[in-house]
Structure 1
Amino acid sequence: MSGAPVVVVTGGASGIGLGISKLFAANGHPVAMLDLQEEAIEREGEALRATGATVLSLRVDIAKRDEIDSAYAAVRRELGPIGCVIANAGISSTDDFLTMTPESWQRMIDVNLTGTFHSIQAALPDMVEQKWGRIVTISSQAAQSGAPDRAHYAASKGGVIGLTRSLARELARHGITVNTIPPSLVDTPLAREGERTGQVPPLEVIAQHIPIARPGTPADIAAACAFLCSDGASYITGQEINVNGGSWM
């Protein structure tokens, strides 16, 4: 594809999503940053625009299709047709399965899985018309190994992996690749908050069990996304790209 395609990053206001937005913007892509955190998305979007980047920042609840459709209409109007989607937005919580409420379960599925569905499907007409597209979902190692007290989270992210594989097969004929990155430990504000509240051990302690003995960073995930969205990755689709420092299970 000639020129730098428009990139949509969901959950773009912080953590992994912000790292992805920064790298694509630095690489010359017009970037649409979508996030539920209105103040944060405006602040981070303005900071990137101040560097000369072409960035549109929008407050969106990805679990609501009407909000996704409205946001994507704004992206097309302001930036042009969508070429890449990084479906990163998601939520996480700890919840004993024995006492987990149906509402807690459903909210996790609505955001992490159905929100990914909305974020991808709404962009596909542009990609099909261009006969080119790149989709990267951000799943989780929890879906590969299981996660005590986070069954709803692991199940939602397992659904994202299954969705990714299915779409890779279905959309290949349109020149669209679909891959997923299931991170393990990543040093983000959300992870540090879990550390602070005692939901997870100190990140540096967890990192001792990773062959590359450090937590991952948003930049690590962003670099893999940039490659998967490049022409050099045109023969890679339906894959789990394990950016995890060598950790497993």
Structure 2
Amino acid sequence: MGWAKGKHALITGGGTGIGAATARMLSAESAKVSLVGRRREPLEAIASETGSSVFPADMTDREAMEATFAAARDANGPFDYVILNAGIGDSAPFLKTRREAWDRIIATNLTALFDGAQLTLPDLIQGEDKRLVIVASVAGLRGAAYAAPYVASKHGAVGLTKSLALEYAKTGLTVNAICPAFVDTPMVDDSAERISRTTGRSEEEARAALAAMNANNRLVTADEVAASILHLLHPSSRSITGACLTIDGGTTA
């Protein structure tokens, strides 16, 4: 029996990377886990390992989110833990960044957080030991060249976290952000592929270059991030709210 037995955890972006690692750890603690993501196949792969429930949805579609979250609530009960993890990245010189790219990144990385929080807060402000965790990035704490839309979206994620933490500080809800550096996930794979395509370097060399941007010269693992998320969910963390937990090997030190 785990400390999360009977708790209902909703994880967006639950089919790969940080979301999948968090689902595995929460399931091991006996939580009921609802996985949300755009692609059914990765969600079902994790569900087959963990016994989680699968709810495919586009996180940039408010109506789809409403229907999906309602289905998850009907299946597993009111939300106790909500981990808003879905996100995308891109890189380009600012003057070559198209408005369409800006809109797509802001919609996925920031507006979807607004919608996700609004749709789950009615459950999260009822009862004790409720948790909202927003997966942001060290890019939400500092600047980064060639990634203006991504950095802007993650700064917004950090700001939203701090605002909600203060607004609901007198309830049983805590609101915190996780701010990892480069994590060994499919998003980094995509970044390595773009670097390889534009520079002619091999994808292995591109991954090494990304790892070198972390102060400890290695990529953070998804399990390391998931373990920090579980720390914030634990009942002993009820006084941690409004925090931005960095998992970056000293990058922002």
Q: TM-score, normalised by structure 2?
A: 0.90
Which AA in structure 1 matches 2:237? A
Secondary structure of 2:125's counterpart equals helix
With over 3 angstroms needed to count, the CA separation of the structure-2 counterparts of 1:19 and 1:192, relative to structure 1, is same
Match of 1:247 among 241, 246, 251: 251
**Are the counterparts in 1 of residues 47 and 54 from structure 2 also a CA contact under 8 Å?**
yes
Match of 1:223 among 218, 222, 227: 227
**Are the counterparts in 1 of residues 16 and 186 from structure 2 also a CA contact under 8 Å?**
yes
Gap regions ≥5 residues in structure 2: 197-202
Task: Quote the residue 1:198 is aligned against.
Answer: 195
- Distance in structure 1 (CA, Å) of the matches to 2:214 and 2:6: 35
Gap regions ≥5 residues in structure 1: 50-54
Match of 1:107 among 104, 107, 119: 104
Task: Quote the residue 2:54 is aligned against.
Answer: 57
Runs of 4+ off more than 3 Å: 1-4, 199-213
Residue 160 (structure 2) pairs with residue 163 (structure 1): yes
Residue range with higher mean Cα deviation, 22-31 or 195-204: 195-204
- Distance in structure 2 (CA, Å) of the matches to 1:171 and 1:177: 8
Aligned residues: 244
Q: Once the 2 structures are TM-superposed, how far is the Cα of residue 228 of structure 1 from its aligned partner?
A: 0.3
Task: Quote the residue 1:88 is aligned against.
Answer: 85
Which AA in structure 2 matches 1:230? H
- Distance in structure 1 (CA, Å) of the matches to 2:94 and 2:208: 28
- Distance in structure 1 (CA, Å) of the matches to 2:100 and 2:215: 38
Q: Once the 2 structures are TM-superposed, how far is the Cα of residue 67 of structure 1 from its aligned partner?
A: 1.2
Q: TM-score, normalised by structure 1?
A: 0.91
Secondary structure of 1:95's counterpart equals coil
Which AA in structure 1 matches 2:32? P
Aligned-residue sequence identity (percent) comes to 32
- Distance in structure 2 (CA, Å) of the matches to 1:198 and 1:22: 31
- Distance in structure 2 (CA, Å) of the matches to 1:74 and 1:226: 24
- Distance in structure 1 (CA, Å) of the matches to 2:252 and 2:74: 43
- Distance in structure 2 (CA, Å) of the matches to 1:194 and 1:130: 41
Secondary structure of 1:42's counterpart equals helix
Q: Once the 2 structures are TM-superposed, how far is the Cα of residue 175 of structure 1 from its aligned partner?
A: 1.2
RMSD (CA atoms) = 2.0
Task: Quote the residue 1:72 is aligned against.
Answer: 69
Task: Quote the residue 2:16 is aligned against.
Answer: 14
Q: Once the 2 structures are TM-superposed, how far is the Cα of residue 96 of structure 1 from its aligned partner?
A: 2.1
Task: Quote the residue 1:175 is aligned against.
Answer: 172
